[in-house]
Amino acid sequence: MPEDWQEQHPILSPNAKQEAHLIGLAEGMVERHAADGGGHAWLESSRSVDPTRPSSEWRRNDSSEPRPRLAASSFHRFEIGFEVGPMGIDEGGTLFLNPEAFWYWSNAQTQDRRAPGYTTARARSDDVELRATGMGAGFRVVGRGLRAGERIDFVYGAGESGARVDRYAERGSEIMIAVDANGDGFREWIDDAVRIDVIGRPGSRLLAFGPAEIAPGEPFEILVSLTDGLGNRTSWPETIQDPSGASVGHFAVHRLAQSSLELENPATRLEAVSSRFAPMRLPLTPTPGTGTIRLRIEGLDALEGLAFDLPPIVVRAAENRLVWGDLHGHTRLSDGTGTPKDYFAYARDIARLDVIALTDHDHWGPRPLDERPDLVAEQLETVQSFNEPGRFITIPGYEWTNWLHGHRHVLYFEGAAPIFSALDPETDRPDELWDALRSYAALTFAHHSAGEPVATNWSFAPDPELEPLTEIVSIHGSSEAGDAPWPVRNGIPGNFVRDTLMRGARLGFIGSGDSHDGHPGLAQFTAGQGGLAGIFTPTLDRSSLLGALRRRHTFATNGIRPWLEVHIDDTVMGGTLDLRLGQSDPDGSGDPVLRIHYEATAPIEGIDLIRSGRVASLPAPEGLTYRLEREIPPLASGEFHYVRIRQRDGGVAWSSPIFID
């Protein structure tokens, strides 16, 4: 233990994972053998062993494709070549084979030939044996050391069941090989490993999204895309391709019964053209006036039977418009699926988000970013290349993976985007992280703060400038309160966000996916629930978004896309109502007035008014549009008030609190 451990960390998270933190420190202190991680690998062949699918085979020297394209969740046998690096491998050294640890490849193993993932390794020299260690697919070098350039043959999926590839589509999915050259127990993953392309199943789900909000009479565009049942991006069917190779789709646009506005160009048959994997775009214009547009998009001809009801589109004249963001997610650069490029493309083209952040872990994953400045630079370049002010905003960031005080993600809104590691003794506490970020246009967000995988240590009060918001819901569940729907696993009484508000913290609410499946904005497809941030901003650019987030003009959902606005008198959600200025009762004539406007995505189950820890539930209203204006009892300094709306489909929305001075 570091000598000043107790002084530096006198209070930890209620469920701190000290062992994970100390292992990370120890690994950073180890002097690695120079030959660890040496060598390169390649795929010789892959062969289908799935009796439910047509047989397929790819061979390195026979195929015109640079690497195989395999259907998600299919089973195959992989023959892999490995060449020992220039410094060799000592006798007693170890090689390891493992597919990407996240998320659904078969585990590589050497114990059961009948089970998926059975793996073998053979040296081409008779005087060398590769003996299974019994730990995953590890093989110890026995007989003599391996010399530079010698060949090893691996077979992953060597048994009768083969090996299952990931359930999530991913270009360049990796079968990794690590080398512990001297057998000291510390290994490095080689950079030049085996990659394949995992492709989605045939399309079975039509998705269609428009903007959350537009001005009266403003033309808008619906993006229509196709995924498989798990949300994997898939190509348009070959049956709608024209001779040039373009995909030509036909769709009907139907106005739903509770839509209060018509379309200028209603059409029972609209044509759209795109490339095979790109979304199709349907241009539409509302009739004059304000209200809410509710539409259903139906596929025609070869797409018949596929349909999607759009989230509501609010039409109004306003200074601030609602945009949708997912500010927390991961790629294969840490513990997720897919490349950063595919992550951003999915957010823009499939989920049709307005704002997206990529927050891979600082030191969690096979190639920690805090040790790889080359990967950090590559990631930042990708973030910047996708950023389009006014249309699609990308925000650089990372996850501060602190197992002592809770995880936070860090977002940068201008300039440099350095990684301050949670393993660095200079930045391994929240206050130290905030001090390091003082000179940056940055924000931090605590997440899964009430329970697993590690709760937030709220004894460090959230910095009012750098942490005005908290992520209360994601794939991990809700950390709002113990009475919230979909609570986080192993929630700790007294550590929920509402408890923190009761102790005087001022935090607005957002949701975000924390997705690891390559589907930002739609994590709920496979996790059951996800998270999204509704943000009201005057313009769509990083500077305006930073201002909106600092003002807490936000609301959180568990993946649904309703429209929500809450006021007490003239103070909007996230704001502060100042009693000294008479804001709640300027003329002394009555009690403060609470106003709610909610456009639901499904019938409403209930409305919860939460005031300083007390919950009052209102009965479910009829219809999808809900408006409430009512006086509430007088407010006192130090109180807070927010709204939680529950839908019958399991969707939940939370307004940011209004705070009382």
Bridge-based pairing of strands 295-299 and 40-48 is unpaired
* 59 has pLDDT over 70: yes
Compute the average pLDDT of residues 271-275.
94
* 587 has pLDDT over 70: no
Per DSSP, helices labelled H in 66-190 are none
pLDDT tens figures, 276-324:
999 999 999 999 999 999 999 999 999 999 999 999 999 999 999 999 9
Bridge-based pairing of strands 313-315 and 307-309 is unpaired
* 219 has pLDDT over 80: yes
Per DSSP, helices labelled H in 411-491 are 430-437
Neighbouring-strand partners of residue 194:
175
Measure the CA–CA gap between 535 and 549, rounded to whole angstroms.
7
**How would residue 588 be classed by pLDDT, with cut points 50, 70 and 90?**
low
Residue 195: the pLDDT is 94
Measure the CA–CA gap between 645 and 322, rounded to whole angstroms.
18
The share of the chain scoring above pLDDT 90, in percent, equals 90
Residue 582: the pLDDT is 61
**How would residue 589 be classed by pLDDT, with cut points 50, 70 and 90?**
low
Mind listing the domains of the chain with CATH numbers? Answer: 1-30+319-561 (3.20.20.140), 40-199 (2.60.40), 205-316 (2.60.40.10), 564-661 (2.60.40.10)
Q: What is the mean pLDDT of the chain?
A: 95
580 CB burial (10 A radius; 0-12, 13-18, 19+): exposed
**How would residue 521 be classed by pLDDT, with cut points 50, 70 and 90?**
very high
Characterize 294-314 residue by residue with b for buried, 16 or more Cβ atoms within 10 angstroms of its Cβ, and e for exposed: bbebbbbebbeebebebbbbb
**How would residue 432 be classed by pLDDT, with cut points 50, 70 and 90?**
very high
pLDDT tens figures, 531-563:
999 999 999 999 999 999 999 999 999 999 999
Residue 312: the pLDDT is 98
Measure the CA–CA gap between 421 and 436, rounded to whole angstroms.
11
Whole-prediction pTM value? Answer: 0.95
Q: Which two tokens stand for residue 610?
A: 């939460």
Compute the average pLDDT of residues 157-171.
95
* 191 has pLDDT over 60: yes
Measure the CA–CA gap between 552 and 151, rounded to whole angstroms.
59
Measure the CA–CA gap between 144 and 65, rounded to whole angstroms.
38
